[in-house]
């Protein structure tokens, strides 16, 4: 296999972090953004870094952010790819010789965490989603989900040295897990996402925006239905939806005659930042979101946010820059109208976003990697 011969072995004595992730690709959203920012931060701090993700074919690329390895993997639901052979990942890691592994996957890559434990390598599970909420949103059922998730998490607690979560809502899923739980909020690119990118036009039209993957676990159906409800009430509005995914036809049907435009995937963060800054209010209403980078990006662009009253996204807004409500179109439509009465909501949105920067997030994670690396070395 070419992956094993195309990148240099790690140097002993340095901090060497291996990041692993499934369900991440070129058009992925928050997880990909987080992994990229963290990886670049690790490199900027002097650590060696390798990133292993699924791809269309095997490839190895040396970049300023470290070694990027794509492993040929089949497509699964929603257009994602999934590494189904963790032993190939272990082969690559044995050459890289990491001091810690940071795994953004709760199932398929579990053998990698076991390998790390056997070989004195620190292991971090980075929880990007709540499995109980994600499965319920995808299937529309809650019966039996909690029991299955609980059994898996007991297994995870015996395998990893630490679990990283990004919100109190995400932490609640690990109530019965004995592994050390570390809450580290993510950051936002405050330079790219900035109010100066654009200014909403004061033309009497309420301009709404939704940015995110059009897959059921992100609840775009609820965002579109909220805009349709406002249109039904006679509100003069326009909604722009940015993102791609498997449920576009369903969303078009929900929109009906409402003035909602589906633009597809937006390439380029600056371009996305401009579209967010043009809007009056961003709808990011997923009730099962563990964090909500899309919320922070909108706030950083100076755009207030309406979200659901459950989920990690709720923790990112306050009354100065957002509203939250039950995850129903009627309740969220009421929240939108209430938010429009809030004075100084745009500068307040930017101020709220400035509480979350990538440097702080990266430093906390680097400290964790150092602690786990030294602990394993001592053991």
| Spatial contact of 181 and 368, defined as CB atoms under 8 Å apart | no
pLDDT band at 32 (very low <50, low <70, confident <90, very high): confident
Place of tokens 């209430």: 338
- pLDDT, mean of residues 51-62: 93
The pLDDT value given to residue 6: 47
pLDDT at 93 over 70: yes
- pLDDT, mean of residues 284-306: 95
pTM: 0.89
Residues 335-366 pLDDT 10s: 999 999 999 999 999 999 999 999 999 999 99
Residue 251 β-bridge partners: none
Q: Residue 144: left (phi > 0), alpha (psi -120 to 50), or beta? A: left
pLDDT band at 373 (very low <50, low <70, confident <90, very high): confident
pLDDT band at 135 (very low <50, low <70, confident <90, very high): low
Instruction: Using a pLDDT cut of 70, give the percent of the chain over it.
Output: 88
pLDDT at 11 over 80: no
Tell me the average pLDDT of the chain: 89
Structural domains in the chain, CATH included, are: 2-187+358-378 (3.40.50.2000), 195-353 (3.40.50.2000)
The pLDDT value given to residue 1: 34
**Dist CA 208 CA 283 (whole Å):** 7
The pLDDT value given to residue 217: 81
End-to-end, the C-alpha distance of the chain in Å comes to: 33
- pLDDT, mean of residues 294-321: 97
Residues 173-202 pLDDT 10s: 887 777 889 999 999 999 999 999 998 898
C-alpha distances (whole Å) from 48 to each of 56, 122, 174, 314 are 25, 15, 30, 35
**Dist CA 24 CA 17 (whole Å):** 18
């Amino acid at each position: 296999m070419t992956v094993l011969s195309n990148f240099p072995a790690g140097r002993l004595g340095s901090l060497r972090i291996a990041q692993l992730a499934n369900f991440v690709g070129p058009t992925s959203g928050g997880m990909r953004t987080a992994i990229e920012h963290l990886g670049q931060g690790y490199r900027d701090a002097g650590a060696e870094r390798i990133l292993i993700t699924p791809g269309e074919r095997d490839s190895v690329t040396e970049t300023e952010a470290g070694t990027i390895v794509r492993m040929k993997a089949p497509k699964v639901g929603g257009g994602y790819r999934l590494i189904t052979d963790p032993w190939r990942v272990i082969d690559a890691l044995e050459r890289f010789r990491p001091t810690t592994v940071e795994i953004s996957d709760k199932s398929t890559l579990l053998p990698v965490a076991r390998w790390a434990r056997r070989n004195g390598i620190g292991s971090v599970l980075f929880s990007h989603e709540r499995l109980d909420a994600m499965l319920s949103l995808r299937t529309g059922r809650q019966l039996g989900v909690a029991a299955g998730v609980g059994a898996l998490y007991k297994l995870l607690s015996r395998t990893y040295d630490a679990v990283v979560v990004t919100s109190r809502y995400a932490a609640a899923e690990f109530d019965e897990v004995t592994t050390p739980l570390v809450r580290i909020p993510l950051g936002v690119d405050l330079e790219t996402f900035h109010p100066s990118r654009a200014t909403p036009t004061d033309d009497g039209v309420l301009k709404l925006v939704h940015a995110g993957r059009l897959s059921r676990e992100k609840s775009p159906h609820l965002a579109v239905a909220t805009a349709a409800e406002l249109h039904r009430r006679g509100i003069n509005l326009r909604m722009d939806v940015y993102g791609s995914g498997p449920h576009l036809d369903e969303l078009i049907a929900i929109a009906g005659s409402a003035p909602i435009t589906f633009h597809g995937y937006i390439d380029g963060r600056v371009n996305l930042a401009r579209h967010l800054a043009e809007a009056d209010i961003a709808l990011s209403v997923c009730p099962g979101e563990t964090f909500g980078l899309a919320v922070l990006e909108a706030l950083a662009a100076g755009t207030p946010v309406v979200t659901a009253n459950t989920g990690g996204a709720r923790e990112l807004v306050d009354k100065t820059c957002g509203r939250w409500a039950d995850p129903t179109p009627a309740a969220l439509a009421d929240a939108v109208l209430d938010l429009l009465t809030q004075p100084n909501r745009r500068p307040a949105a930017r101020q709220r976003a400035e509480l979350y920067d990538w440097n702080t997030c990266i430093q906390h994670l680097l400290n964790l990697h150092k602690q786990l690396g030294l602990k394993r070395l001592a053991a």
